[in-house]
Amino acid sequence: METKTILITGANGEIGHGLISHLAEHDHVKIVAIDLNTLDDTTRNRCFKVYSGDILDTRFLDSISTAHDFDVIYHLAALLSTRAERQPTIAHKVNVDGTLNLLEMAITQSRLQGKEVKFIYPSSIAVYGLPDLKTKHEAGRLNEDEWTEPRTMYGINKLYSERLGRYYMKFYRQLDANPMGGSVDFRCVRFPGLISAFTLPTGGTSDFAPEMLHYAAKSEHYDCFVREDTRIPFMAMPDGVNALLRIEAASRASLSSQVYNVGSFSPSAGELKTRVKSAFRSAEIEFRPDLKRQAILDTWPEDVDDSRARKDWGWKPEFDFEKAFEEYLVPAVREFYRAK
Ligand code: AKB
């Protein structure tokens, strides 16, 4: 099998860790990782080459692009929704200009190598924006095209970046008399909140679910910043990684779109508490809603309709709510804190 060279931005983030540990199991993969921060030794050792730097620095990106021929780019680097709301201009730079820089790198790479470069992009349920709770309840599971009226900087950045990807794939420099060539095969999954047993997210608004679990595992009191009836979709991290790998592996002919919802389970915060407490009986979890973060969650859907992904590339999560807790989250998070 031919060796694939894969670039991963935001390698130090939650998805980056999961993706790298999975990809490193295969011999025919060379991972080139970028992050602002230094990677831990285990993750670093799984990579062929690691660069510390900023995706906004085009000279830095050019030097990496000159040194490697990439088959696939996983562009994971982003500022999540809560942090983006506090620093909107920085978020716009990282989430939009950063994505633009990586798409430019992909097209240059494709031109130089004379072949298509795959660009795998995680978007988010933050691209949705429901106007009020009544509409949210009535709307239920949203498909890719309904209610894409985001109210957060992060959601706007993600929705726009989905469209940028589509532009680079289908309409890039459409007026050129002599097209320069180069082609980007853009593939995007819209993630719900992700829950990992090994890492905690920073700066997201869906963080209440992973925080509830990790605080319980550490026997620490948790003030949950949402109302008990808050319901948004979630997914166990192994399924998140699997979704990225599966969309990358799908044949181009099977894909009828560039953007796909992926869903898994959709518990209320109250149901999450009950499940966490059944595993960690002494867990102390209190609901103390932060009204502003709550208002963001109230605009995100109760669930997503992922039938397009199921039909086109055979998406199917391995973990439902019960299995995620029983077979992955609880045993793995216990082991994680025991080993610390
Ligand atoms: C966030 O909360 O910002 C992210 C997301 C849902 O994309 N976890």
Distances (CA, A) of 244 to 120, 185, 290, 291: 7, 14, 32, 33
**Residues 96-151 pLDDT 10s:** 999 999 999 999 999 999 999 999 999 999 999 999 999 999 999 999 999 999 99
**Per-residue pLDDT for 158 more than 80?**
yes
**Residue bearing tokens 């039909």:** 311
Decide: 231 and 266 in contact? Cβ < 8 Å: yes
CB atoms within 10 A of CB 58: 15
In the DSSP assignment, the letter for residue 265 is B
Tell which residue, 320, 134, 135, has the closest CA to residue 238. 320
**HSE-up (13 A, CA, CB side) for residue 319:** 25
- pLDDT of 2 > 90? The answer is no
pLDDT tens sequence across 58-80 = 999 999 999 999 999 999 999 99
Ligand 1 lined by 196 (C-beta under 6 Å) = no
Beta bridge partners of 123: 190
Whose CA is closest to 211, among 244, 188, 234, 185? 234
Residues 192-210 pLDDT 10s? 999 999 999 999 999 999 9
296 domain residue, yes or no: yes
Q: Is the pLDDT of residue 281 over 80?
A: yes
In a domain, 35, yes or no: no
Strands (E) located in 65-153:
72-75, 117-124, 141-142
274 within a domain of the structure (yes/no) = yes
Instruction: Report the distance separating Cα 95 and Cα 77, nearest Å.
Output: 8
Q: Is residue 185 part of a domain?
A: yes
CATH value at residue 259: 3.40.50.720
Residue 75 in tokens: 């562009």
**Statement: the pTM of the whole predicted model exceeds 0.75:** yes
* Joined tokens for residue 85: 């709301």
Per-residue pLDDT averaged across 165-174, rounded?
A: 95
pLDDT above 80: residue 243: yes
Residue 177 scores a pLDDT above 90? no
What is the whole-number distance in angstroms between the Cα of residue 120 and the centre of ligand 1? 17
| Residue 42 covered by a domain | no
The answer to whether the CB of 91 is under 6 A from ligand 1 is no
**What share of the chain in percent tops pLDDT 90?**
96
* Average confidence score pLDDT of the chain: 97
Residue 117: CB within 6 Å of ligand 1?
Answer: no
In this structure, the strands spanning 141-142 and 303-304 are parallel
Question: Residue 239 domain-assigned?
Answer: yes
Q: What is the mean pLDDT of residues 217-227?
A: 98
Decide if 130 is inside a domain.
Answer: yes
Distance (Å, whole) CA 6 – CA 135: 42
Is 152 a pocket residue for ligand 1 (Cβ < 6 Å)?
no
pLDDT bin (cut points 50, 70, 90) of residue 182 is: confident
Closest C-alpha to ligand 1, atom 4: 204
284: tokens are 């102390």
Q: What is the mean pLDDT of residues 226-253?
A: 98
**pLDDT of residue 212 exceeding 90:** yes
How many Å apart are CA 36 and CA 20, to the nearest integer?
A: 16
Task: Name residue 203's amino acid.
Answer: G
Over residues 283-295, the pLDDT tens digits come to 999 999 999 999 9
The dihedral through the CA atoms of 241, 246, 248, 249 has a sign that is positive
| Residues spanned by the domain of 172 | 78-338
Site to probe by mutation for ligand 1, drawn from 194, 200, 297, 300 as the one with most ligand atoms within 8 Å of Cβ, is 194
- Exposed/middle/buried for residue 96 (C-beta within 10 Å: 0-12, 13-18, 19+): middle
Q: Confirm or reject: Cβ of 125 under 6 Å from ligand 1.
A: yes
Judge whether 11 lies within some domain.
Answer: no
Residue 339 — pLDDT band, cuts 50, 70, 90?
A: confident
What pLDDT is attached to residue 153?
98
Q: Which atom of ligand 1 is nearest to the CA of 84?
A: 3
Q: Which amino acid, one-letter code, is at 62? A: D
What is the average pLDDT across 263-282? 98
- Tens digits of per-residue pLDDT, 306-326? 999 999 999 999 999 999 999
> How would you class 132 by CB atoms within 10 Å of its CB: exposed for 0-12, middle for 13-18, buried for 19 or more?
exposed
Whole-number Å distance, alpha carbon 194 to ligand 1 midpoint, is 8
- Whose CA is closest to atom 1 on ligand 1? 204
* pLDDT of 239: 98
The helix (run of H) or strand (run of E) holding residue 167 is: helix 153-170
Q: What is the pLDDT of residue 178?
A: 79
Domain count of the fold of the chain: 1
Of the candidates 141, 146, 99, 100, the residue with the CA atom closest to the CA atom of residue 127: 146
Give the residue-averaged pLDDT of 8-22: 96
